[in-house]
Amino acid sequence: MAYIISADEIKKKLPNYSPDKAEKFHHESAAKADKLFTKALKENSYKNVILLSGGTASGKTEFLVTQLSNKKCIIMDATLSTELGAKNKIRQIIKAKKIPIIYTTPL
């Protein structure tokens, strides 16, 4: 079973969250997701780490649920909106001696 980290799911658990104000909670949920990601790289025994990349409503979550959730891996469900952010995640994965796998949605 995959260990899934999703800023969107974290966002839903934050106090006073409502879907119409989702953007206001993005920074906090992304920061919490990053902390969970760092912790998972250190503590989880799975070797493969999947980064899902794509914008809002691009199908990442559906793909995750239907195709990836049963795999033995760490999954970071994120937008990877900047090249620097993506490179940093990949560096973290490699430094943890794990294998980065990247899935992206078409532009």
pLDDT digits (tens, 9 = 90+) for 84-103: 989 999 999 999 999 999 98
Q: What is the pLDDT of residue 49?
A: 98
User: CA 24, CA 27: separation in Å to the nearest integer?
Assistant: 7
Q: What is the pLDDT of residue 47?
A: 98
pLDDT lower than 50: segments of the chain = none
Q: What is the pLDDT of residue 55?
A: 73
Break the chain into its structural domains and give their ranges.
3-104
Distances (CA, A) of 43 to 11, 46, 47: 23, 9, 11
